[in-house]
Structure 1
C-alpha cells in the first residue's frame, strides 16, 4: 500500500435503526476516502450520526441495527462481509478507537496495567513482560509521569485527563494503522484539550497512522485536520481539504458553524456569536428533500422535495445543495423561511 492509496474507503454507507414509531435513518449514503498518515475530521452537531459512523466502521453496532454500503473497505478487507472473528482480529490490532468518555470505557475492576497488557496479549503472541514494558513506554509517550507506578492504579484514581491519556496509550498498544478518536477532548478543560490534541497529532506523525477525529468543534478541526467532512442529519453536506472548507465554505450549514466561532483579532469583544436557529429534524420514517431546509436562511419551496446532489467546487471539495453555486460570500443574516 502506497501513501496515495486509501487505507479506508466508504461508499454509500447507511445506518437504519428500528424504533417503535418507525425506522430511524440515522446515516444516509455517506462516503469518504482516508489515506495513510492523513487526518479526517467529521464535524457536526450532536445527533448528526458521527459516532454511529465510527461504530459502523469498527463493527460495534448492535445486531438489530441495519448497516449497508456499496463499499466499506479497510486495506483491501471488505468490512461489509467480515465475520465477527475477523473483526475481533482487526479491532485493537490494526483499527483502534478512543471512545468519548474514558471513565466508562475503562473497566473500574481492573488496574490500568492489566487493561493495557490485555490489549496487546489478545492480538500479539509474546511474553507478558514485553507487553508490560510496551505499556510503560506508551504511558510515558502520552505524557504520564511515574508510568510504572501508574500501572497498579485503578481508573478512579486518575483524573479525566490522565484517563484519556491511558485510553490513547491503549489504542496504540498494537501499533494500529487507523485510529478513530470520538470527541476525545469532551469534558476536559481547555488546557488539557490542547495537550491531548497536540499529543494525538505528534503520535500520529511518529507512528504513521491514519486518523479519524470526530468532533463538534471547528476550532479543533482547524488545528489538526487534513480533510473535513461536515455532517448534518445523517448526511455529509460538505467535504474537502481543511484550507478550502475554511476559506470558501459553500454549504449554509458549514457557514453557520463557522459563524459560531470567535476569530482572534477579528471578532469584537462585545459582538454576539452566530447561531443556527432550530434543531436537527427527526429522521424517523420517510425523509425527503433537504434536511437543513427548516433552518436554512436560503431555503426555497423546492427544498421540500428536491434531493440535493453533490456539487464539486474545487480539488476534492464538494457540497450538497440544490444551489450549485453555493453560498460563499453570501449574507446570511435572515432567518429560515421554509
Structure 2
C-alpha cells in the first residue's frame, strides 16, 4: 500500500485510494491539482489530511465523493469503498452511496444548505431518499439527531431556514444531516474554519464524541495542526497535490522527517516551550505552479536542504512500518512505496 497508510494486518480498508489524480483543463494548460495520492482508512479510524491552502485537500475529498466540477478529470488505479470500486460507478449507484453509507460535512454551511428550504425538509430528504420510511419517522430521526448534536428546541428548529441560524448552529445541522442515514465514513472538509475559536472547540468535541459513539471512520481535512494533534490516528501531509509524509499522529509530531512537515510544525506555538513574544517559524517562498508537468521535488525552491538530486522526481520512500516520506534525505535503504 503506497505511503504505508493502511489499516491493521489482515483488515480490509473501508476506503482505499491508490494513485488518485485530478486534472483541471485551463486555457494555459492542464492543472494537475492532485498528483498520485494513495491512502487507506480503516473502520473507526481518523485520518487527517493536512497542508496549506491550495495543496489539493478539498479536491481529494470531492474526488472520493464523486462531486468534482464537470470539467475535472479523475483517475486512479484504485478508488474503493468497502471493497466496491467507485471509478466507473453510474451516477445512480453513486448517489445510492452518497449521503447514505458515505457522507460529507462541507466547509461553509451557509453555502451548503439550501436557503429556499426549511431545515426540516433538508434533514428529512436524505432519509426519505435512502430508506423506506414515512415522513413522520424521518421527522423523529431529524429531531433526535438535532438534540444529539446539542441543538435545543429541536422540533421548532425544523421549521426555520438557514439564514435564521448562527454559523455554529448551521454547522451542527450539517453534522446531523451527515448522520441521518447512519454512515460508515464521514469526510469533514475543514468543518470549523468559518467558526470562532470557542465554537470550533465545541464542534470538534462533538465530532469526536459521535465518532466514538457510532463507530464511524473519519477523514478530517484541515490546515490546523492543533486539531490534528488532538484527533488523528493517522496523518497524511500534503504539499502541491502530493502526500509528502505519512504516518501515525504520534510519529509525525514526535519525529517529522520531511522539511515541509518540520516547517509547518515550527509555525505552531508550543505551550510551555514557546516564550511570549518569541517569533514563530515560517516557510519562505510560494507553492509552485501545478500547470503542466513538475519534474522535480515540489518543495525544492522553498527548502533550505535542497540539493541537486531534488531536481528529479522524488518517489515516496517507505521507512519503518507505517511511515513514508517523499524526500531525497529519507533513509536511502527505504524502498520506494
- Does the pair score TM above 0.5? yes
Q: Which has the higher relative contact order, 1 or 2, with Cα contacts under 8 A spaced 6 or more apart?
A: 2
- Structure 2: gaps spanning 5 or more residues: 1-7, 333-337
Q: What is the CA–CA distance in structure 1 between the aligned matches of 2:96 and 2:186, rounded to whole Å?
A: 15
> Within 5 Å, which residues of 2 pair with 1:100-249?
100-249=107-256
**RMSD over aligned Cα, in angstroms?**
1.2
- Aligned partner of 2:74 in structure 1 is 67
- Aligned partner of 2:12 in structure 1 is 5
- Structure 1: gaps spanning 5 or more residues: 327-338
- What stretches of structure 1 move > 3 A for 4+ residues in a row? none
- Aligned partner of 2:3 in structure 1 is none
By how many angstroms is 1:62 displaced? 2.5
Greater shift in the superposed pair: 218-227 or 294-303:
294-303
- Aligned partner of 1:323 in structure 2 is 329
By how many angstroms is 1:313 displaced? 2.6
- Determine which of 295, 300, 323 is the counterpart of 2:302: 295
Q: What is the CA–CA distance in structure 2 between the aligned matches of 1:120 and 1:278, rounded to whole Å?
A: 48
- Aligned partner of 2:315 in structure 1 is 309
- Aligned partner of 1:329 in structure 2 is none
By how many angstroms is 1:320 displaced? 0.4
Aligned residue for 2:204, secondary structure, equals: helix
Q: What is the CA–CA distance in structure 1 between the aligned matches of 2:11 and 2:163, rounded to whole Å?
A: 43
By how many angstroms is 1:234 displaced? 0.2
Aligned residue for 1:314, secondary structure, equals: coil
Aligned residues: 324
Q: What is the CA–CA distance in structure 2 between the aligned matches of 1:188 and 1:254, rounded to whole Å?
A: 26
Q: What per-residue deviation string (whole Å, max 9, x for no partner) do you get for residues 179-231 of structure 1? A: 00000001211111111111000101111111100000110000111000000
By how many angstroms is 1:278 displaced? 1.3
Q: What per-residue deviation string (whole Å, max 9, x for no partner) do you get for residues 218-265 of structure 1? A: 100001110000000000000000000000100000000000110011
Q: What is the CA–CA distance in structure 2 between the aligned matches of 1:44 and 1:322, rounded to whole Å?
A: 20
- Determine which of 255, 262, 265 is the counterpart of 2:269: 262
Q: What is the CA–CA distance in structure 1 between the aligned matches of 2:308 and 2:322, rounded to whole Å?
A: 30
Is the 8 Å Cα contact of residues 307 and 322 (structure 1) preserved in structure 2? no
TM-score when normalising by structure 2: 0.94
Is the 8 Å Cα contact of residues 13 and 69 (structure 1) preserved in structure 2? yes
Q: What is the CA–CA distance in structure 2 between the aligned matches of 1:8 and 1:271, rounded to whole Å?
A: 42
- Aligned partner of 1:44 in structure 2 is 51
- Determine which of 264, 276, 281 is the counterpart of 1:274: 281
TM-score when normalising by structure 1: 0.94
Q: What is the CA–CA distance in structure 1 between the aligned matches of 2:101 and 2:145, rounded to whole Å?
A: 17
- Aligned partner of 2:86 in structure 1 is 79
By how many angstroms is 1:81 displaced? 1.9
Greater shift in the superposed pair: 308-317 or 32-41:
308-317
